[in-house]
Homo-oligomer: A and B are copies of this chain.
Amino acid sequence: MTGAAGDLEPTDSAIVRELAANGRCSFTDLAERVGLSVSAVHQRVRRLEQRGVIRGYGARLSCEAVGLPLTALISLTPIDPAAPDDYPQRLEHIPQIESCYSVAGDESYVLLVRVGTPAELEELLRRIRESAKVSTRTTVVLSTPYEGRVPAL
């Protein structure tokens, strides 16, 4: 199946797919691949950006090559169930936290973190527990067969 294109036109969908895979693709190439004029593509991309469909562009980095070879998933459980639920904000300042998901289940949040060494992970856990008053359960990532694949729109 081609997947759910959501409320996206076929042309917009093609543009988004192309840019997701190839973020630095020129408008000229883009135009060729989706079969439109350059200015028409240009206009559509701007609209996709303004509508928030495209939130920005980024380089895909090799975590290892960049000094962050250790990835972990950290599940958070509030210690005081009566405390206000502002955990994401309390943790936002910690740069090692790449993603923060609010989840259904036994635990309240799952964090994806990147560090250089086990010692740094230990220190990070200490900071997380301290900053957010939570208990943590950590799942260390041993390897990453694939990650951040482009969705099939």
A interface residues with partner B (beta carbon < 8 Å): 3-8, 16, 19-24, 51-69, 71, 73, 88-89, 92, 95-105, 110, 114-117, 120, 139-153
Is there contact, CB below 8 Å, between B67 and A60? Answer: no
Residues on B with C-beta less than 8 A from A98 are 147-149, 151
A19-B151 CB under 8 A given contacts A73-B103, A88-B146: no
Is there contact, CB below 8 Å, between B153 and A67? Answer: yes
A66-B151 CB under 8 A given contacts A55-B61, A58-B20, A116-B6: yes
Minimum CB distance partner of A146 in chain B:
B100
Residues on B with C-beta less than 8 A from A53 are 61-62, 65-66
The smallest beta-carbon distance between A141 and chain B, in angstroms, is 5
Cα-based distance from A117 to B5 in the complex (angstroms):
9
Residues on B with C-beta less than 8 A from A6 are 65-68, 116
Cα-based distance from A82 to B140 in the complex (angstroms):
23
Select the residue from A54, A67, A147 with max chain B CB neighbours within 10 A: A67
Contact of A54 among B56, B59, B68, B89 (CB under 8 A): B59
Is there contact, CB below 8 Å, between A144 and B100? Answer: yes
A60-B58 CB under 8 A given contacts A73-B110, A104-B142: yes
Is there contact, CB below 8 Å, between B57 and A151? Answer: no
Residues on B with C-beta less than 8 A from A99 are 144, 146-149
